[in-house]
Structure 1
Amino acid sequence: MNQGDGKKSYAQNSSHQMAVMRKTLPIVKDIIKEMFINHLTLFEMLENFSIADLGCASGPNTLLFVSEVIDTVHKLSNQYNYKTREIMVFLNDLHKNDFNNLFNALPSFYDKLKEKHGYEFSQKCFISGVPSSFYERLLPSKSLHFVYSSYSLHWLSQVPRNLDNKGHIYVAKTCHSDVVDAYKNQFYKDFYSFLVHRSHEIIPKGRMVLTLIGRSIPDPSSNDCCCILELLAQSLLDLVSQGLIRKEDVDSFNMPVYHPYKDEVKTIIQKENSFDLEKFEIFECNWDPDDQDYGYTDKFDKKRSGRNVANCIRSITEPMMKIHFGELVLDNVFERYEKRVANHLENEKTKYINLTICLKKK
């Protein structure tokens, strides 16, 4: 498992992704505007403006984000009387991402650009795919002006090695401290590597906006990050007790994900030292994207919410679980998981903690 497979996860759930995009798009637009205003000479001389969406997945929200950024650049070019430059957009994810789905959507995307901004402008927008892990180099030196990544960087390049994490599939309240350290060290290594590679690819004063799932308190076993996966582990153990899967298979299955605390992220940024931290925002969203904070009124339907969350997590984990456990048991696993999530949400309305980080290349 590597960056991308699981990431399509939360990102492919359009409701979750739209909630995140509503929070981050104003930040993205403000940063691009600031780049135009404060670097007038630089931008007058530029022949193109290059953007990368790292961990883009293949859903409709990928091109929706691209459209919003292109609209912003077009508006600013007109507002400040800049000559409309060429816009380069690089869409990155792993090789197994469905780039064909994205490419098949491009003719319609360009047609909409022509309708909105005219034929001439549409011919200056170029979109391409870059299939590779973003924990490696992707593009030439100093070729990017703006980098965006949403709901990707909490996915690790691999499961930490030599984990002894019996009965769990991620960090949990009862797991050994060595497990916590292994996950933390793997995230440190991966995020540090991500920053190093981007530091070569982004021009001086170029920007990054990164959003990932984190946690609200230093304790890595807090409910706001580990509970949703611990409930899945318990659902797997339910099938062990019924003889449908082997306990050894559960003991050897771990998720390649880490939800960092804000101070952990800040420490890595400071130590890598290629970027200035301009902004760090934290916001929450419900496990169930269709639950609009009704609280515990009669409008809250625990069965519906349990089913919605189970479907979302299944879209994340199914490729990995199918390989490890086989396809036949998955329906049984997620039937139990749906009930466990529903009972949990009836008693405690747990939320995802989202970290949005704005960086400027030194």
Structure 2
Amino acid sequence: MSQSGSSIAGVPPALESNATPAALNKGKIYISKSSPQCVLDAYSLQFQNNFLIFLKSRAAEMVAGGRMVLSLMGRRSIDPTTEESCYQWELLAQALMSLVTERLIEEEKLDSFNAPYYAPCPEELKMAIQKEGSFIIDRLGHFEIDWDGGVEELTNTTLLPLSRGQRVAKTVRAVVESMFELHFGKAMMDLLFARYAEMVDDYLSKNRAKYINLVISIIKKDN
């Protein structure tokens, strides 16, 4: 049985706009190098809580000896602020900030948005699995994925290849646009992702950027 890791993400309650009198992660939408430690801790705790519930629910459904394979976005380092873990969100926050600077988006809107996402490291997966206690780890590994997928794609209008940044922006937009429309308004979406594509193009011209996908195989223990 194979499961996606997307269902174990979520916004930490401590970061919700109505939970605190002031933004804890000002100018950001996810973990970044400038995030206070309490933001890192809130995301990690939320992941651990959600993943434990996920494991407990799956354990109730499986027979002893049953195998589950999980594939989810993650990171190799124990440091959640590494670029491979969070820099795609950092660039998206910068694109949003450029619209705030031009007064096209309210700053409060940016400060009150936190991505329902977390990229765990292998140690966090192991800790949660051991704590829940229903499974043993068979295998745990990772593979790298280019931000742009490594495949050229033509534009709809000019039949010229999309830039790498445009390919990344198109992929990210497909995932987050519904959330962003609800929070920031539909009118800003085209401009936002055009800015994001430009920033990603600039970043990829100077850096090697890869997503890290963790794959773990676990087996249900005997009762």
TM-score, length-normalised on structure 1?
0.55
Structure 1 residue aligned with 2:206: 347
One of 314, 318, 323 as aligned partner of 2:173: 314
Asked if 1:270 is matched to 2:130, the reply is yes
Inter-CA distance 291–225: structure 2 relative to 1 (3 Å threshold): farther
Residue 162 of structure 1 is aligned with which of 14, 23, 27?
14
- The CA RMSD measured in Å over matched residues stands at 1.6
Structure 2 partner of 1:358: 217
TM-aligned CA deviation for residue 207 of structure 1:
0.7
Measure, in 2, the Cα distance between the counterparts of 1:306 and 1:282. Answer: 24
Provide the rounded CA distance (Å) in 2 between the counterparts of 1:349 and 1:248. Answer: 33
Shift of 1:151: 4.9
Do the aligned partners of residues 151 and 162 (structure 1) sit closer, same or farther apart at CA in structure 2, a change above 3 Å counting? Answer: closer
Judge conservation of contact 1:291–1:305 (CA < 8 Å) in 2: no
Q: Offset of 1:290 from its aligned partner? A: 2.8
Higher RCO, Cα 8 Å, sep 6+: 2
Question: Within the alignment, does 1:281 sit opposite 2:106 as a pair?
Answer: no
Greater radius of gyration (CA): 1
**TM-fit CA distance, 1:355:** 0.6
In the other structure, the counterpart of 2:57 is 197
Equivalent runs, 1:106-145 vs 2, <5 Å: none
Question: Once superposed, which parts of structure 1, at least 4 consecutive aligned residues long, lie more than 6 Å away?
Answer: none
User: Which residue identity lines up with residue 284 of structure 1 in the other structure?
Assistant: E
Following superposition, the deviation at residue 162 of structure 1 comes to 2.7
- Using the alignment, how far apart are the partners of 1:207 and 1:177 within structure 2? 36
Matched with 1:125 is none
> Match for residue 186 of structure 2?
327
Match of 2:157 in 1: none
Alpha-carbon distance in 2 for matches of 1:336, 1:162: 30
Instruction: Give the fraction of aligned pairs with identical amino acids, expressed as a percent.
Output: 42
Contact conserved, 1:274 with 1:361, CA < 8 A, in 2? yes
Q: Aligned residue for 2:20?
A: none
Q: Structure 1 counterpart of 2:56, which letter?
A: V
Residue 150 (1) aligns with residue 4 (2) = yes
Aligned residue pairs, count:
206
2:100 matched to which residue of 1? 240
**Are residue 225 (structure 1) and residue 85 (structure 2) matched?**
yes
- Which structure 1 segments of 5+ residues have no match? 1-146, 293-301
Determine if contact 1:196/1:274 at 8 Å carries over to the other structure.
yes
Deviation, 1:152, is 2.2
* TM-score, length-scaled by structure 2: 0.89
